[in-house]
Structure formats: C-alpha cells, structure tokens
C-alpha cells in the first residue's frame, strides 16, 4: 500500500488530481468470521456467484470498509504528504443505487427466493463533492456503500464504482489495480498478458476473465465506452503502480486495432481515478 500511496502523492505533486476508490470484501469476510457470521455466497440460475449481503453481512461490510480499510489507507496517504478525505457513496449524495429485487438463487446448497440481499447497482453519481475537494487540493478516497433512497444502504461493486466516478468527474485516466499484471490469456502464467484490448473485440476477450477479473474488464470497458480516454488494468504490486499503468504496463483498452490512446502526448495535469481495491494491503 505504501508504494501506491507514494506514487499517488508524486502524481498529485506533478499537478494531477487523483480520486482513489477501494473495496473491502476480504476484510469484511474476516470481520464477519470474527463476529460469528461467516461470509456466505449465492449462485444465480445462470451460474453467476456473488456475495450474499443480508443485514448482518451489510453491517460487517460497512464496518470493514469504513472502519478498517479506509482509515489505514487514509493514514498511508497522509504519511505520503497528501490531504486525503474519506468518503462513501452515502456522503453528500455522491452515489445513489437501486437495490436488487428478490431473485431465485442457491444459498447454502438450497435453491430459494432471496429477498434480503442488500446489494444493488449504481443508478446515479453526483460528482459535486468530489470536484469541490479536488479543486481544494484534497484527495478523495471513496468506497461503497451507496444509498437507495427508498430502501437504505446498499452494497455496490467497487470496480464499477471506480468506473462510474471516472466518467462523472471527467477523468482522463481510469486505472483498475489488481494482484496480477492485467488480463491474462492463461491465469496461471503472467507471461500471457493481454497488452492491448480492442474495445470493439471485447466479447472475444471476456472468456479469458474469471471471477473478479471479469468484473474489472466489464467495468473498464463501460468507462472506456462512456468516454474515459485512457483505461488500464494495472498491477498493484508494482513499486509505482499508477504511473506504470499510465506508461502502458498492464492491459490497455484501445478503440480497435489502433495504438493505445495512452501513446499520444499527455498534458501535465488532468484527473485520474485509481481503483485501489486490490492494492496490496487493501482488500478487494
């Protein structure tokens, strides 16, 4: 985590505005186990597996993200000389969401209609608070949960949150970090990195992505399609992961078969949304 925070500090000192986005799934699982409520998963009829976020699981998720992951990240960023401000989607009307409706799924080996899952999809992002903080020289550090005005606090995916925030603030870059070099053709072989991913051929590359990487690929593609010009799946283990991703390390999204947009001349400022959900030391 320290290397990534120092990297963000250097970018900020060079005139870039950075929004940091993180999750907290692994920490939430550990906290839930400590509280005697181990994390549970559910599987939809199509085979898609996801976190089962009932009321106690939502409490553990919020406590872990806002009470464990975020303070640690804020301390590291402050130690690097930044002025970080910790936020969730609940703050300042930042992120509104729609909670998922009841749906049939398999939970603990039993098929049932799940009515108490507090997960949802992002509906709208209001960037006013982020833009005010960025103009003031602060570094926003954002995480789920978000707010469903009718149904309360909702868990949303951190990678999709990073993508939506990047679009909302008009970011020049979206960097989604993980603990692998990027999208791999063979998940067990780091030498099979997909260095350029033509957005027009996304469907051909999606089968290469499994688990969390599939969500990252889809989130990155959505941001690229919505107008974020430079989108990279980067390696959070590198010494300067955001700078490395901006230099082309990782999987770079491109329009088609053309060179990466990141190869063009870069201006000395601009905004970067860094999805730090998988920076070593922070939980996915």
The list of the chain residues with pLDDT below 70 reads 257-269, 275-284
The pLDDT assigned to 269 comes to: 56
List for the chain the helix, strand, coil content (%; round to 5). 35, 25, 35
pLDDT digits (tens, 9 = 90+) for 221-230: 999 999 999 9
Q: Is the Cβ–Cβ distance between 195 and 251 less than 8 Å?
A: yes
Q: Is the Cβ–Cβ distance between 113 and 102 less than 8 Å?
A: yes
- Rounded CA separation 99/132 (Å): 28
The pLDDT assigned to 33 comes to: 92
The pLDDT assigned to 266 comes to: 36
Q: How many CB atoms lie within 10 A of CB 248?
A: 16
H-type alpha helices, the chain: 2-13, 25-34, 55-64, 70-79, 128-135, 158-168, 202-205, 212-225, 241-246
The pLDDT assigned to 275 comes to: 67
Q: Is the Cβ–Cβ distance between 246 and 232 less than 8 Å?
A: yes
Residue whose pair of structure tokens reads 């905004």 in the numeric block: 271
- Rounded CA separation 204/196 (Å): 13
- Rounded CA separation 176/224 (Å): 12
Tell me how far CA of residue 117 lies from CA of 25, 104, 141, 156, in angstroms.
Answer: 15, 11, 26, 12
pLDDT digits (tens, 9 = 90+) for 20-68: 999 988 899 999 999 998 989 999 888 888 889 999 999 999 999 999 9
CA dihedral 205, 211, 212, 215 (to 10 degrees): 50
Q: Is the Cβ–Cβ distance between 155 and 61 less than 8 Å?
A: yes
């Amino acid at each position: 985590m320290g290397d990534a925070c120092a990297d963000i500090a250097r970018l900020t000192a060079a005139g870039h505005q950075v929004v940091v986005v993180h999750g907290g799934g692994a920490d939430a699982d550990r906290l839930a186990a400590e509280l005697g409520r181990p994390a549970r998963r559910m599987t939809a009829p199509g085979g898609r597996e996801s976190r089962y976020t009932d009321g106690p699981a939502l409490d553990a998720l919020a406590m872990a993200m806002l009470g464990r992951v975020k303070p640690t990240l804020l301390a590291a960023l402050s130690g690097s000389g930044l002025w970080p401000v910790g936020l969730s989607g609940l703050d300042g009307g930042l992120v509104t969401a729609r909670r998922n409706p009841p749906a049939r799924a398999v939970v603990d080996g039993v098929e049932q209609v799940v009515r108490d899952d507090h997960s949802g999809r992002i509906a709208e992002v209001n960037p006013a608070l982020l833009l005010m903080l960025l103009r003031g020289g602060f570094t926003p550090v954002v995480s789920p949960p978000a707010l469903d005005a009718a149904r309360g606090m909702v868990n949303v995916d951190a990678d999709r949150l990073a993508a939506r925030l990047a679009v909302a603030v008009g970011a020049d870059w979206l960097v989604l970090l993980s603990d692998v070099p990027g999208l791999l053709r063979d998940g067990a072989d780091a030498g099979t990195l997909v260095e350029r991913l033509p957005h027009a051929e996304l469907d051909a590359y999606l089968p290469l992505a499994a688990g969390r990487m599939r969500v990252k690929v889809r989130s990155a593609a959505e941001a690229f399609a919505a107008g974020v010009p430079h989108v990279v799946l980067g390696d959070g283990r590198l010494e300067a992961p955001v700078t490395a991703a901006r230099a082309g390390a990782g999987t770079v999204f491109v329009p088609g078969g053309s060179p990466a947009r990141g190869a063009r001349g870069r201006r000395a400022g601009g905004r970067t949304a860094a999805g730090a959900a998988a920076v070593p030391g922070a939980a996915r």
